[in-house]
Structure 1
């Protein structure tokens, strides 16, 4: 068998660690923000302040109530307010609009970087004090860094190579103690495929983390937020005044806010990891969350807005480069398969029967579908090649396929979990690809893959990822991330999409050949 699809990300795991409980907790209606910024909620008609974060009082020494029902224009230069008005009016999408604002209240002037989020019923304005640009975070300096990293990524010859460049370069420009690229498997568990770290940081390279560590609602929010920054886990959350949004009579939806407060359980998770600050950026392509760039620091760390914006741009570039590498790999496999398929097709049409064409000659079905064994059950005969179950076991397997009405193509890399009788011959047939020829008559082409014992190394015991309180409502994350090994049994190498694709084409070719043989 050719050595394809052996990437650890493709190892099948029979248990679902994507917790429904964790995934059901709303993260966007917390009504709290982190204290490194301010939040204003404006009405859309007059741009009046209808809700504001409590820390407005600390910065300007005025009660928050004094700002409510006041127009934003009262605190900004006329030119800046006109600019905001114009851009909001002309903005048709929900994209975040950045501004530099000079905010004056109670005889105090503060320079802010602002993000404006137009919503259906109101407008959110996030404000962070704007530190003066340095040579390290000036536009030209950061542009040069991004161009340099982009050129390195283009030279990478694989997904993993591009991931290693990413972590090394982000660590260099941000000074985070650890940077990782974390790829999701098909069941949303994550595996660290690249890592750059200080010597005293825990080594997570190659470790897998259960899906409950990044539950569904957290994954969904990455499509709305370019990054998630926690400058320090030991912050005191800041509430909004009034608590209920007067425009909606509900909690304000903070899905789009970078400042949105973090779930207590996640802060506990960081503490158990001995991490004080973190930042994560999504890797998205083909409208799917492929993975995360995860950054950790032992002490508080708040990156400048300019540097964060550069990382936002860089995550998009990394996403595009990784997508290109993945598509290149898929195309390479597709080309290999098409070459074998063309040779096999020629044999099928040059032989008296399709069975001879599939199983004899210079090319055979084993090579096309990366099989250890194949059985063709047709016209009252069973012809085998390579390692297969015995004839009686094949008959029983076909009966099971027919009973479950698997009438075109059936594919699994964990047959013993779906068909218990196959546990008796799991060593030679943990994987099955069944091509139906005439299922009513029990006629199939069966391709077998052997069991491949594979060891997964978890970052902590995934069975203890969530520890519930006796009340059944609150929970805690695991407090140990020591390597936990699990051996995956009764599974084969997984089937690539391109292999399934060519199997469909083969089925059509065989049916066409049968029609020509009979008519």
Structure 2
């Protein structure tokens, strides 16, 4: 692999995620992929819009379908079943959900059987239809046993990376994709591969980081509406809807909920640059947040059956539950370890005459509780320090900067030199800062410091070349290199954990309580 290096702050210098890639209206492109067709019905179940590939898949032109009731094409028993499901969905107080269905669509020829997904919406009903695939490769019992086995393996894994690797291994074995990746998003939406299973001829992406623009914001948001994203064949011809404007809404049909929704050309180009012809991705959603993705790649066209896709959706949910349980367990362990120290520090604050003495030199103290390299307390005209800190004059200047630039009670950063360039000269002592305001108008703070920690981040391609702009400044192309690119991350400390910030805020409240009690 190509190996280049640069010294930059983490994440690259350019925010393609929001600046460019995040501006494409993916849900309003009025195009679908050709492996299925789309019907748009009004509330009376009359067909008002249809994809133009109805001739190929149904043997009926779009014009022959428009304005006709669905009852002209679907057996009465199936139609009544659909109506009952729609009525139950309408009566439910829960958010509307997609309804899986099987439809026998009658035309002049013999009936054609489709696997359908029905999306009930406020003013219309969208029905996605795909030709039913033969599911005779696995009996129901064998299929169920395989799902149960995979579920058991996922539940037995005892840490995040182990869960991710089992998911990658089992998804590859179950689906036959050439490569399966499990990657996790960081707070700025870059994704790191933490699990991988692949054939020998696929490139190795384990441990590499992908920039946020690879899965930009509006694409991430759509994962809350779609259980998966499938592209069976990269070189497809998009299919338009007929008529172009939706007669019900009088605008482009919102395809947010549709799995058949066509893909932005830049993503198809991205797939070509990766050397894959088909892909499928399934979200990992933990506690209502997008935690990561299971991404499947294949060198040739591949269209998993509805049965397989449903199983992947189920397994991703099980994996997300296990990941969430493990992370909650880890947080509980950290909180339990901190709780005893935190209680002791609070006790010392109230029992000793000077809170600064308790925080800086007690046993345990602020350094131990928050894993600091140094700390300083500015109070009543004095500066007291412990551990590795900037010089006293520099600490006073930092407090003045905080007073002018921070209106929050607590200021936190793991890259102070980027926010306050004057601090670069003491990056070894204070690349990370947690500042707790006591009386900011008087420049009184509790300052917690962490020194610089150099990191090497292995990117899949240069993150600052994630896109290539055309001369018009509007059109762009994805990067064509996924080779290893090493970035040396400077001017940053270890990140502050949520549990540490909670403990620090509790200490701040305790200090203010003691001061008020003594003065008033």
The interval holding the TM-score normalised by the smaller chain is over 0.9
CA distance in 2, matches of 1:251, 1:443: 57
Instruction: Indicate the SS of the match to 2:294.
Output: strand
Match of 1:78 in 2: 76
Of residues 238-247 and 306-315 in structure 1, the stretch that sits farther from structure 2 once superposed is 238-247
Structure 1 contact 17–462 (Cα < 8 Å) conserved: no
| Alpha-carbon shift at residue 278 of structure 1 (Å) | 0.2
2:50 to 49, 52, 72: 52
Instruction: Check 1:515–1:63 CA distance in 2 against 1; reply closer, same or farther (3 A cut).
Output: closer
| Alpha-carbon shift at residue 518 of structure 1 (Å) | 4.4
Structure 2 contact 46–68 (Cα < 8 Å) conserved: yes
> 1:119-130 to 2 correspondence within 5 Å?
119-130=121-132
| Alpha-carbon shift at residue 139 of structure 1 (Å) | 4.0
1:94 to 93, 96, 100: 96
Match of 1:41 in 2: 40
CA distance in 1, matches of 2:296, 2:195: 12
Match of 1:223 in 2: 224
Instruction: Indicate the SS of the match to 1:331.
Output: helix
Match of 1:115 in 2: 117
The TM-score, its normalising length taken from structure 2, stands at 0.94
| Alpha-carbon shift at residue 227 of structure 1 (Å) | 0.2
The TM-score, its normalising length taken from structure 1, stands at 0.94
* 1:420-456 residue CA offsets vs partner (Å, 9 max, x unmatched): 2111101111011111222233222111100011111
Instruction: Check 1:452–1:13 CA distance in 2 against 1; reply closer, same or farther (3 A cut).
Output: farther
CA distance in 2, matches of 1:261, 1:515: 62
Match of 1:32 in 2: 31
* 1:37-62 residue CA offsets vs partner (Å, 9 max, x unmatched): 121111212x1222222222123433
* 1:137-178 residue CA offsets vs partner (Å, 9 max, x unmatched): x44333322322222222222122111111111111001111
Structure 2 contact 438–512 (Cα < 8 Å) conserved: yes
Of residues 463-472 and 421-430 in structure 1, the stretch that sits farther from structure 2 once superposed is 463-472
> 1:155-174 to 2 correspondence within 5 Å?
155-174=156-175
Match of 1:446 in 2: 447
Structure 1 contact 432–447 (Cα < 8 Å) conserved: yes
Instruction: Check 1:245–1:364 CA distance in 2 against 1; reply closer, same or farther (3 A cut).
Output: same
CA distance in 1, matches of 2:454, 2:88: 58
Match of 2:402 in 1: 401
| Alpha-carbon shift at residue 132 of structure 1 (Å) | 2.6
CA distance in 2, matches of 1:466, 1:511: 50
Match of 1:106 in 2: 108
| Alpha-carbon shift at residue 14 of structure 1 (Å) | 6.3
Instruction: Indicate the SS of the match to 1:225.
Output: coil
Match of 2:133 in 1: 131
Match of 1:338 in 2: 339
CA distance in 1, matches of 2:15, 2:328: 28
* 1:288-331 residue CA offsets vs partner (Å, 9 max, x unmatched): 21111100011111100011011111111112111112222222
| Alpha-carbon shift at residue 379 of structure 1 (Å) | 2.9
Instruction: Indicate the SS of the match to 1:188.
Output: coil
Instruction: Indicate the SS of the match to 1:253.
Output: coil
| Alpha-carbon shift at residue 383 of structure 1 (Å) | 1.8
Instruction: Indicate the SS of the match to 1:389.
Output: coil
Match of 1:5 in 2: none
Segments of structure 1 that go 5 or more residues without pairing to the other structure are: 1-9
Instruction: Indicate the SS of the match to 1:257.
Output: coil
| Alpha-carbon shift at residue 516 of structure 1 (Å) | 4.2
Match of 1:245 in 2: 246
Structure 1 contact 60–106 (Cα < 8 Å) conserved: no
Instruction: Indicate the SS of the match to 1:240.
Output: strand
Structure 1 contact 60–108 (Cα < 8 Å) conserved: no
CA distance in 2, matches of 1:440, 1:286: 39
Segments of structure 2 that go 5 or more residues without pairing to the other structure are: 1-8
Instruction: Check 1:212–1:366 CA distance in 2 against 1; reply closer, same or farther (3 A cut).
Output: same
Instruction: Indicate the SS of the match to 1:19.
Output: helix
* 1:249-307 residue CA offsets vs partner (Å, 9 max, x unmatched): 22211111111111111111000000011000111122221111100011111100011
| Alpha-carbon shift at residue 241 of structure 1 (Å) | 1.9
Instruction: Indicate the SS of the match to 2:17.
Output: coil
CA RMSD of aligned residues (A): 1.8
CA distance in 2, matches of 1:113, 1:493: 50
Structure 2 contact 11–463 (Cα < 8 Å) conserved: no
* 1:206-252 residue CA offsets vs partner (Å, 9 max, x unmatched): 11111111111111111100000011101111222222222222221
| Alpha-carbon shift at residue 407 of structure 1 (Å) | 5.5
Structure 1 contact 209–462 (Cα < 8 Å) conserved: yes
Structure 1 contact 230–278 (Cα < 8 Å) conserved: yes
Structure 1 contact 176–297 (Cα < 8 Å) conserved: yes
